[in-house]
Amino acid sequence: MTQLITTDLVELDQNLGNAPETVIRHLASKVAATGRASEVEGLFADAFAREQKTATGIPGGIAIPHCRSAAVTVPTLAMARLNPKVDFGAKDGPADLVFFIAAPDGADQEHLKLLSKLARSLIKKDFTAALRNASSEAEIVELVDGALADKPAAHAAAAPADAVPVGAGAAVGAAAGSAHSGAPAASAGRGSKRLVAVTACPTGIAHTYMAADSLVAAAKEVGVDLQVETQGSSGAKALDPAVIAAADAVIFAVDVDVRGKERFAGKPVINAPVKRGIDEPDKMVQEALAAADNPHARRVPHFGAEEQAEHEAEEKGEHIGQKLKKALLTGVSYMIPFVAGGGLLIALGFLMGGYLITKYADNIVVQNSLFNLPTEFPDNAWGPLGAYLGAVLFKIGALSLGFLVPALAGYIAYAIADRPGIAPGFVAGAVAGFMGAGFLGGIVGGLLAGYIAHVVGRLQVARWLRGLMPVVIIPLLASLVASGLMFLILGGPIVAITKGLNAWLSGLTGAGAIALGVILGLMMCFDLGGPVNKVAYSFAVAGLGAATIDNQAPWQIMAAVMASGMVPPLAMALASTVLNKKLFSLAEQENGKAAWLLGASFISEGAIPFAAADPLRVIPASMLGGAVTGAISMAAGVGSKAPHGGLFVFFAIDNFLMFVVSIAVGTVITALSVIALKRWAVKKTVDTVEPVPVTV
């Protein structure tokens, strides 16, 4: 196995600046200089983004910046002993010992276990004392290798033999060297208590295991049996159900969702960020013991059986905007597969069945089969077989896209009210789709359904009624109220706005072609498949029937609308996968790969994940590129006889070369604009770093 640390990765008693970012950048450059990372900037960006989510300073003058990064080629430790110290956010002051843990995206389990073991060793006083006393880089490497091999530090007393079990199966050697040594012995009553805990952080390398060890050590000092399940990267062994059943309370020291939380249903719970498990493990243990004796303590909800709402457990200090963003991101993440799959199937249907397959698809799929091919189909279909397969593909895609708004609304409601919110959210989303409220209606319906389900779920009801709450009462009341509001109050104004915009657009057909192209481009990119986008698209589609050889304006409007709508996803794909990957998260880079196909298929929603994460930069940049594309398309007289399909309906597009040119120009403009805005934003963030709550 490759050695995790070498003397080239150690920096002793150096001035590396006075801010975490300068230290992290320096250590990232050392990792890259040894050939263990492909680039400095990508590694720094990933590590510093992790630092912004949760400060990595821990008690004892230690900091452990860490990340997973596509730039890392070999699992690596880099270490710096700082002079002067740098504040990494620990409560007891700045750090002089900094370990930078750099793991590849696909690091093997053995390496991850070693990285986690090193992190756990850093809460041992004898180990950190030896690091401070080391006189050379080689001695540091020897100490680290010894810690990874479970050898005692040369300058410290041997650790006690009685290790406390942790749920992940690793022994806890932190008890002897914990900062809690010397705590008073537990009373007999407290000593009989049993606790369980779950620790988890976004990367699952360092904080997860250090919090586990700190909590176990703190519990041991007060005579309490505590067993921990570490949900980290190096594997996790689930707590025995019998251990959970016997526990008096549970501690969740987590920055991400607890997997299998329903196993702890009904237990008194203390919920806090994972870093508190390192900084204040003794307080968390005391709070858990107090909760165990308090009949009114907050408990882990009985999913599907109790009225308690999950989201009472949200972290303290989280603002309403952050909660709203988390809910929207949840809805979008579940919606995207419907958009991607359905849109591509529709495009393939157009390619095989012709751009008029929409008129024939329903009859063909019902009345025909592979053994009874249709005789009536579009002239530009690939024959009877192509028409049949095209109709099938188109219909599957159309049905898939029909779930777009209900899925968005359903999972926004799920993010707010957990499982009881799903049904009301889907119903409200279906109502929004039925009324033509589109993407915006789905968001409003999902928020309404989720909030109402959350409120109803908190009502105090008789015990005999509790079992009916999540399966009958909450879905019934939340669906009735949320969907009723959509029908009675919200639908009318949205329809009125849609009709007014249609009339306004119709009045612009006599205006200059370029001005109209700019307006259509702006509308197509304003809300990425939402009501404004749909108004422009509906206006274009409605006019196709009036187009003739002598009146090609409707075809030109359709082409401008389609080209502009392709710009946002293609631009996000270009920016995140080609031009500047480091400005985008790994999830966005993966979404960018899919956005190439989505954009080519005229699925504007392919840019929604980017817009949801950074709307103030992505949307204006998209509108700028879309406006330019619409203007070029109209000026060049590009026409499209097809209402959908993007590049896949090339056969239905007049002046296809200029169609591609207009899209390419707008795509480049939007991509460069997003990159410029994100670079400016990153610089401002580095100047004044503010912690950002974890949303993973």
Of the two residues 120 and 37, the one the predictor is more confident about is 37
Strand order in the sheet with 269-272: 225-230, 194-200, 249-254, 269-272
Report the C-alpha gap between 20 and 65 in whole angstroms: 9
pLDDT in tens, 658-672: 999 999 999 999 999
What does the pLDDT read at residue 678? Answer: 81
Report the alpha-carbon angle 640-643-646, nearest 5. Answer: 75
Q: Residues, the chain, total?
A: 696
Tens-place pLDDT, residues 159-178: 333 333 333 333 333 333 33
User: CA–CA separation, 460 vs 466, rounded Å?
Assistant: 9
Maximum average pLDDT range among 394-398, 609-613, 690-694: 394-398
Task: Give me the pLDDT at residue 470, please.
Answer: 75
306-327 confidence digits (pLDDT tens): 334 444 444 444 556 667 766 7
Q: What are the angstrom distances between the C-alpha of 673 and each of 84, 572, 625? A: 40, 11, 9
What's the rounded Cα separation, in Å, for the pair 685 and 614?
Answer: 14
DSSP string, 29-62: HHHHHTTSBS-HHHHHHHHHHHHHHS--EETTTE
User: Are 156 and 129 in contact, with CB atoms under 8 Å apart?
Assistant: yes
pLDDT value at 127 more than 80: yes
Proportion of the chain above pLDDT 70, given as a percent: 75
Q: Among 75, 102, 105, 72, which residue's Cα sits nearest to residue 1?
A: 75
The predicted pLDDT at position 164 comes to: 37
Average pLDDT over residues 553-565: 87
Q: What is the pLDDT of residue 694?
A: 39
Asked whether 300 and 250 are in contact (CB, 8 A), the reply is: yes
Range in 7-16, 72-81, 402-411 with the lowest mean pLDDT: 402-411
DSSP calls for 542-608: HHGGG--SS--HHHHHHHHHHHHHHHHHHHHHHIIIII-GGGS-HHHHHHHHHHHHHHHTT-GGGGH
Q: What is the pLDDT of residue 340?
A: 56
Q: Are 371 and 395 in contact (CB under 8 A)?
A: no
For 644, which DSSP code? Answer: S
Measure Cα distances from 298 to 301, 464, 479 in Å.
9, 21, 28
pLDDT tens for each residue of 230-260: 876 555 578 888 888 888 899 998 876 777 7
User: Which residue did the predictor score with more confidence, 28 or 420?
Assistant: 28
Q: How much is the mean pLDDT over the chain?
A: 77
Q: Is the dihedral of CA 41, 44, 46, 52 positive or negative?
A: negative
Strand 95-104 relative to strand 66-69, pairing: parallel
Structure tokens at 673: 């604009």
**Any residues with CB less than 8 A from the CB of 255 and at least 6 apart, and which?**
53, 54, 200, 201, 202, 207, 273, 274, 275, 694, 696
State how far the Cα of 634 lies from the Cα of 561, in Å rounded to an integer: 10
pLDDT of residue 696: 34
Residue 588 confidence (pLDDT): 76
**pLDDT higher at 347 or 210:** 210
Segment 663-682 shows an average pLDDT of 86
Lowest mean pLDDT among 186-190, 224-228, 346-350, 409-413: 186-190
- Rounded average pLDDT over 30-50: 87
pLDDT of residue 659: 94
Judged by average pLDDT, the poorest of 69-73, 232-236, 631-635 is 232-236
Q: Which residues are catalytic?
A: 66, 201
